Structure 1
Amino acid sequence: MRTAYGLRIEGLDEVVELDADSCPPVGGRPVTVRQRHVAPPPPAPLNADRMVRILADGRTLDVNRASGSATFYGPPLAADLLAHPYLAPVAVVVNRWAERETFHAGAFVHAGRAWVVLGGRTAGKSTLLAALAARDMPVLADDIVVCAGGDVLAGPRCVDLREPIPGLGLPTRVVRDDSRLRLTLPAVTPRLPVGGWIFLHWGDRLAVTPVGPAELLARLVTRRSLPELPSDPSALLALAARPGFDLTRPRDWATLDATHRLLGAALTGSLP
């Protein structure tokens, strides 16, 4: 049995990016991931027990709470694709059913805490995480961040890049039908307390600026995954009580070292 995103996962023993069983299961039972190359069930809206939806590539995903299963209908997926990105929608649904908050984000570790990195699809989240990993800041998650109470849960042990990073100094391999370069991450503590929030922006100069609590709460509310499911207001308030920063940087590989130094100084200065 493997683990990621706080799930105990059966059926993915061949996926090397998932850790051996080390986390308690969501909802008290494992999730079995299956693949079937047969006609899928019709789409169905998300409810408290089941979700069936068509994915961007035409496959259908059926997540069934009662049976503890997540079934992909369509051509078989390779192990590297199951690690990322196809496990992410399963993790979002199951964790939201378990009343955990999830965000399209990544997270790295600084001073024993998880710092969550948020931004749009081309905001450079994975690039920043890979650069931080190369500078000895452990990466906790890429693509999806799951918050259980005040903790962030570890994701699959990889970061996928659209293009090479000059001077990265860490080995990568081609994955996802030759569309990505995968950086394999070492094992990490499976859950760590939230340190704070970092919102990525592109700009002409490098800067880190604080985000006030009210603005931070508003941003977190709008960036929740599956907002049609209810959230605990007190849990969101607790998450928004952590520090928040806007990180602006130029689209220039040469600024990665300076970004690392500036970010480290800002986060160290925010520690209690």
Structure 2
Amino acid sequence: MPSTPPAAPVAYGLALPDLRGAAHLLRRPRGDETLWRVERLLDPDPAPATTAVDADRAVLPLAGGRVEIDRATATTTFRTPVAPADAEVVHPHLASTAVTVAHWRGRIALHAGAVVAGGRVWAVLGERGAGKSTAMYSLVRAGYPLVTDDVLVLDGRRVLPGPRCVDLRRPTAEHYGVGEDLGVVGRRQRWRVELPAGDGGGELEHDLELAGLVHLAWGGEVAVDDVPLDRRWPALLESLALKLPPADQRGLLRLLALPTLRFRRPQRFADLDRAAHALGAELSRRGAAPATPAAAG
């Protein structure tokens, strides 16, 4: 009698049977994930693509090719001269699928990392150049489990964890002496730090809730300050991973009521760990109590 294949590994609420070769970067299933297939078709000269997303299909450009995401067949197809390996699909290429499927399912997807502190999840947001992945890795080093490095998918306030790895830039990787040089994957050169169970990337509790949001900034001293309510909306809109009207507008408005912080720290490697410990301690203190709307002002 044939044996039953093991359940597919998951990320972002998607069950991914075609990415078992990178299962060490993925999560264990809880049972309610959406089954999603991944196909890789070799095309020596793929037609150029511009980003197009509608209600049933998305086409996105990819270096040397294109990605097609189909809602009806629940399939992502890579058309490239060289097929991406499972680990490359998992991160960074899977993010575009996660964001698109989240939109179709009425969920919110933010361009954000996230960690667990105080038993709940804190999103970490930052513009390009704000040092987001560096902040994520320094928080992991400080003992805070990684939820995701690059894209945060929310089902209401329930968090759907992403892959358990952080992709660093060269200066940070060299500073810490970590990471595998992947070369250029996606838009930039990456040094990947895998986080197996027990090393900051362990299995997370199911039904973790979002406690609040942290916006990164560079500054002279380490400081964590509340963001006034009237200044949250523009930054929240900017953090949407898909630049379309949000599928869950009420859910996005509810995020405004969550504790929202600005974390400033010096742009110096010598201060990374000290800053991460300070932020983690503050998030743990706030995360341990029920989230309440912050006052405007």
1:36 aligns to what?
Answer: 41
Q: Please list the CA deviations of residues 210-267 of structure 1 after superposition, one character each: whole Å capped at 9, or x if unmatched.
A: 1122322332123212232443232112222110111111111221232123213432
User: What is the aligned partner in structure 2 of residue 162 from structure 1?
Assistant: 169
Q: Distance in 1 between matches of 2:73 and 2:90?
A: 22
CA change 1:47–1:162 in 2 (3 A) is same
Residues 41 and 66 of structure 1: is their aligned pair in 2 closer, same or farther, counting only changes over 3 Å?
farther
Q: CA deviation at 1:195?
A: 1.2
Query: Quick check: 1:25 aligned with 2:33?
Result: yes
Q: Aligned equivalents of 1:122 and 1:241: distance in 2?
A: 27
Confirm whether residue 208 of structure 1 aligns to residue 224 of structure 2.
Answer: yes
Of stretches 38-47 and 253-262 in structure 1, the one that deviates more from structure 2 is 38-47
Using the alignment, how far apart are the partners of 1:20 and 1:266 within structure 2? Answer: 29
Aligned to 2:64: 58
Q: 1:214 to 1:269 in 2, by over 3 A?
A: farther
Q: 3-state DSSP class of the match of 1:19?
A: coil
Corresponding position of 2:194: 184
- Matched residue, 1:135: 142
Question: How many angstroms does 1:130 deviate by?
Answer: 0.8
Moved more, 83-92 or 256-265: 256-265
For residue 100 of structure 1, the aligned residue among 76, 100, 107 is 107
Q: Partner residue of 2:257?
A: 241
2:282 counterpart (244, 250, 266): 266
Q: What is the match of residue 293 of structure 2?
A: none
**Bigger shift: residues 7-16 or 210-219:** 210-219
- Give the alignment's Cα RMSD to 1 decimal: 2.2
Structure 2 counterpart of 1:4, from 11, 24, 46 = 11
C-alpha change, 1:184 and 1:240, in structure 2 (3 Å) is: same
SS in 1 for 2:19: coil
Number of aligned positions between the proteins:
267
Identity of aligned residues (%): 35
Matched-pair contact (CA < 8 Å) for 1:80–1:176: no
Q: Secondary structure at the match of 1:103?
A: strand
Unpaired segments ≥5 residues, structure 1: none
- Structure 2 residues not aligned, in runs of 5+: 1-7, 196-200, 291-297
Q: 1:18 is matched by which residue type in structure 2?
A: L
- After superposition, the C-alpha distances for 1:50-105 in whole angstroms (9 at most, x for unaligned) are 011222x1321100000110001002112321121111111111111111111111
Shift of 1:269: 4.4
Rounded Cα–Cα distance in structure 2 between residues aligned with 1:197 and 1:174:
31
Alpha-carbon distance in structure 2 between the residues aligned to 1:110 and 1:23: 25
* Structure 2 residue 95 is matched with structure 1 residue 79: no
Counterpart selection for 2:124 from 98, 117, 129: 117
